[in-house]
């Protein structure tokens, strides 16, 4: 149960909006719609084109950029409207999140409803939202030059900011979640959990790399890559570093390999938690986490085998948010009311 007050309601509203934002963002990417709006007007430009003349103007602007010239040169106006609306909805949601962050904060300050810690959290959240919007446009700009694809590095940066903001919101909300108090957690368990979270973080970044490079379309079979455990193309690199961050085949191999490591590691963490007495509540949470990880593994394989089916890929991304929420709650839980 969550203790309901104005601050927790605010956090929950942002969590819901960011969940929708991540889903729409993923669908925008999967439908190839992310570069359909070639300018950024964060303050004005709320309304979409309303007349045929307006649509023609927007479409003509799009025609000046590489995505149309190199990939979508046969696109009709009606087809353009579809990809435009996906990106338009994504940007409108960004504005709604910005207002949902700022307006309640002003109200809280005027009414003096926040504790010192809540005020600091609110400022951090609002700054985070602003930075996320700027980084989103920074990402889009990378696809408006010679190569009509956004930089996978900028995509990873944008998505990582979204996931980390989501994690922070859940961490802030965790103090309002009524649960059994967790007993003393040993430093070993904390280190193991933080290491596990670090591994999940790396996996999320590589997931963004896979998305940005469209590496999920390569070798749509499992557990091997074609006839190989690691494809020959994955080993064809200028350098080790280039292979790890630029080679689409190697990036797919790393992403699927880390998935195995995370699945096995989650079982090991559960076993370590079980070895310490009086951690029944934490163990229950970790069992749920292990179940979510297993589902994530299955969804990842299904996404690969289905050649990036939009529904399965979106479910895969949404399940990642569930995992992030649970891990955020665990971090809060193991650091509260700890006594020897």
* CA–CA gap between residue 235 and residue 336 (Å, rounded): 46
Is the same domain home to 27 and 88? Answer: yes
Instruction: Write down the pLDDT at residue 238.
Output: 80
pLDDT tens for 90-110 read 999 999 999 999 999 999 999
Is pLDDT of 74 > 70? yes
Is the same domain home to 264 and 133? Answer: no
Closest CA to 183 of 9, 5, 17, 337: 337
Tally of domains within the chain: 2
Domain that holds residue 98: 1-178
Share of the chain above pLDDT 70, in %: 97
* CA–CA gap between residue 307 and residue 129 (Å, rounded): 33
Is pLDDT of 338 > 70? no
Indicate the residue among 178, 205, 228 that finishes a domain: 178
The secondary structure of residue 269, as a DSSP letter, is H
Question: SS3 sequence, 194-262?
Answer: HHHHHHHHHHHHHHHHHHHHCHHHCCCCCCCECCECCCHHHHCCCCHHHHHHCCHHHHHHHHHHHHHHH
Is the same domain home to 139 and 17? Answer: yes
Contact (CB, 8 A) for 108 and 6: yes
Is the same domain home to 208 and 255? Answer: yes
Contact (CB, 8 A) for 250 and 227: no
Is the same domain home to 35 and 54? Answer: yes
Is the same domain home to 79 and 143? Answer: yes
Instruction: Write down the pLDDT at residue 322.
Output: 97
Residue 43's pLDDT band, with cuts at 50, 70 and 90, is low
Residue 48's pLDDT band, with cuts at 50, 70 and 90, is confident
Q: What are the structure tokens assigned to 266, written together?
A: 């989650």
Indicate the residue among 178, 195, 216 that finishes a domain: 178
Across 116-144, average pLDDT = 94
Is the same domain home to 208 and 336? Answer: yes
Instruction: Write down the pLDDT at residue 340.
Output: 38
* CA–CA gap between residue 157 and residue 146 (Å, rounded): 21
Phi, psi of 149 (to 5 degrees): -140, 140
Is the same domain home to 184 and 143? Answer: no
Is pLDDT of 40 > 90? no
Residues constituting the chain: 340
Is pLDDT of 181 > 80? no
Is the same domain home to 80 and 217? Answer: no
Instruction: Write down the pLDDT at residue 146.
Output: 82
Give CA torsion, residues 140, 145, 147, 153, to 10 deg: -40
Is the same domain home to 121 and 224? Answer: no
Structural element, H or E, at residue 170: helix 152-174
Q: What are the structure tokens assigned to 244, written together?
A: 């790890």
Is pLDDT of 321 > 50? yes
Indicate the residue among 178, 213, 245 that finishes a domain: 178
Q: What 3-state class would DSSP assign to 141?
A: helix
Is the same domain home to 159 and 248? Answer: no
Residue 337's pLDDT band, with cuts at 50, 70 and 90, is low
Give CA torsion, residues 88, 92, 98, 103, to 10 deg: 160
Strand partners, 2: 177
Is the same domain home to 308 and 276? Answer: yes
Across 196-218, average pLDDT = 95
What DSSP line would sit under 34-67, residue for residue?
TTS--S--SSS--SPP-SHHHHHHHHHHHTTSHI
The overall pTM is greater than 0.85: yes
Closest CA to 299 of 336, 326, 263, 247: 263
Contact (CB, 8 A) for 251 and 215: yes
pLDDT tens for 295-317 read 999 999 999 999 999 999 999 99
pLDDT tens for 230-286 read 999 999 888 889 899 999 999 999 999 999 999 999 999 999 999 887 888 899 999
């Amino acid at each position: 149960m969550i203790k309901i007050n104005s601050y927790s309601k605010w956090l929950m509203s942002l969590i819901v909006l960011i969940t929708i934002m991540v889903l729409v963002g993923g669908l925008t990417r999967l439908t190839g719609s992310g570069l359909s709006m070639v300018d950024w007007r964060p303050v004005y430009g709320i309304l979409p084109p309303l007349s045929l003349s307006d649509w023609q103007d927007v479409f003509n602007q799009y025609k000046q950029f590489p995505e149309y010239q190199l990939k979508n040169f046969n696109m009709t106006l009606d087809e353009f409207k579809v990809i435009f609306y996906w990106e338009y909805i994504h940007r409108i949601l960004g504005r709604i999140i910005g207002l949902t962050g700022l307006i309640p904060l002003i109200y809280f300050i005027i009414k003096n409803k926040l504790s010192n810690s809540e005020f600091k959290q609110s400022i951090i959240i609002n700054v985070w939202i602003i930075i996320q919007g700027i980084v989103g446009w920074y990402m889009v700009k990378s696809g408006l030059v010679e190569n009509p694809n956004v930089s996978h590095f900028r995509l990873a940066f944008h998505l990582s900011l979204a996931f980390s903001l989501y994690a922070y919101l859940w961490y802030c909300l965790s103090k309002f979640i009524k649960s059994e108090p967790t007993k003393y957690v040993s430093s070993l368990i904390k280190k193991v959990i933080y290491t596990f979270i670090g591994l999940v973080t790396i996996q999320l970044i590589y997931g963004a790399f896979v998305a940005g490079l469209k590496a999920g379309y390569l070798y749509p079979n499992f557990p091997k890559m074609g006839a190989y455990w690691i494809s020959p193309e994955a080993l064809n690199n200028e350098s080790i570093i280039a292979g790890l961050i630029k080679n689409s085949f190697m990036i797919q191999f790393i992403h699927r390999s880390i998935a195995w490591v995370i699945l096995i590691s989650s079982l090991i963490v559960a076993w370590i938690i079980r070895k310490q007495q009086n951690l029944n509540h934490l163990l229950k949470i970790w069992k749920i986490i292990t179940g979510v990880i297993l589902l994530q593994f299955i969804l990842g394989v299904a996404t690969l085998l289905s050649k990036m089916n939009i529904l399965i890929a979106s479910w895969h991304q949404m399940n990642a948010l569930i995992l992030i929420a649970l891990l955020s709650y665990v971090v809060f839980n193991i650091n509260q009311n700890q006594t020897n």
